Amino acid sequence: MKRREFKIFMDFDGTLSQKDVGEQIFNKFGDEKQVIKIIDDLLNDRISSKQSWIDLCNSVSSVTEEELNEFLETMQIETTFPSFQKYCKEHKFEIYVLSDGFDFYIDRILKNHKIDGLVVYANHLKIMEGKLIPSFPYYDESSYSSANCKSNHIINHSSEDDFTVFIGDGNSDKDVVEYCDFIFAKDHLLKYCEKERITFFPFKNFDDVTKKIDELKEKKRLKKRNRAVLKRKQAYMVE
């Protein structure tokens, strides 16, 4: 039997990290009233993700890089992630982190926990004279719920032979699940998949994911999700 290629795409905030770091940063350093309103608008689709990041950054009147780094020291990753990464490495399954958060804190947190070898796509954050300046190198107007268009990365990093896996928890993962064969969902994303009747595996931690992928890997016959194959095909053709 030909070796099955799984491509693993995953969210960062609340998936690889224990908490939603982006949200935590603005809860701590932003104007409380403004932050509550912006997040409520975002979760109710009144504003796009990109707009929410611009507004959230504006809600911070002043912060230094040192203050941010000190805060990031307190952020933890999911304790089961390192063994999942090891499992993927052993089986040569590539992992891509697709985040609607910022490179600034993702790089720092991964470094703090000595995790390397991951390909990360995220929005960019610069700190200048106490101000937070966001930019969005992977923005695509077709993606409303994530300023980093996650589905474009899937198209760029998978071929028709691959089984694509997505692992996520939140609002920014809503568009991308359409493009993946196997979805692991919790929290917000789980509710969304239920509502939209999208097939998914619920998970609590990465041990659950490892176990399931290992089962899928050994199955005699494994089918891709029709809807996802179609979505990807349409996108490959546009490319």
Question: Is 13 near Mg ion (CB under 5 A)?
Answer: yes
Least distance CB 33 / Mg ion (angstroms): 24
Question: Is 14 near Mg ion (CB under 5 A)?
Answer: yes
Least distance CB 44 / Mg ion (angstroms): 17
Least distance CB 22 / Mg ion (angstroms): 9
Residues 156, 9: Cα–Cα separation, whole Å: 12
Kind of pairing between the strands at 95-102 and 119-128: parallel
- Which CB, 11 or 175, lies closer to Mg ion? 11
Q: Which two tokens stand for residue 35?
A: 């932050």
- Which CB, 30 or 170, lies closer to Mg ion? 170
- Which CB, 130 or 202, lies closer to Mg ion? 202
Residues 28, 230: Cα–Cα separation, whole Å: 43
Question: Is 30 near Mg ion (CB under 5 A)?
Answer: no
Q: How many residues does the chain have?
A: 239
- Which CB, 106 or 132, lies closer to Mg ion? 106
Both ends of the chain: CA-CA distance in Å?
31
- Which CB, 79 or 234, lies closer to Mg ion? 79
- Which CB, 13 or 55, lies closer to Mg ion? 13
Question: Is 11 near Mg ion (CB under 5 A)?
Answer: yes
Per the CB < 8 A criterion, the answer to whether 203 and 209 are in contact is yes
- Structural Rg of the chain based on CA atoms: 18
Residues 184, 169: Cα–Cα separation, whole Å: 8
Least distance CB 55 / Mg ion (angstroms): 19
- Which CB, 22 or 30, lies closer to Mg ion? 22
Q: Which stretch binds Mg ion (CB under 5 A): 14-22, 78-86, 90-98, 155-163?
A: 14-22
Pick out residues in 154-193 that bind Mg ion (CB under 5 A).
169-170
Cα distances from 185 to residues 70, 97, 166, 167, 171, in angstroms, run 31, 15, 8, 6, 11
Least distance CB 26 / Mg ion (angstroms): 15
Least distance CB 127 / Mg ion (angstroms): 23
Least distance CB 19 / Mg ion (angstroms): 10
Q: Where are the beta strands (DSSP E) in the chain?
A: 6-10, 95-102, 119-128, 131-135, 163-168, 182-185, 201-202
Question: Is 22 near Mg ion (CB under 5 A)?
Answer: no
What are the φ/ψ torsions at residue 228 (nearest 5 degrees)?
-70, -40
Residues 65, 238: Cα–Cα separation, whole Å: 41
What are the φ/ψ torsions at residue 219 (nearest 5 degrees)?
-60, 140
Q: In the complex, which residues of this chain contact Mg ion (CB under 5 A)? A: 11, 13-14, 169-170
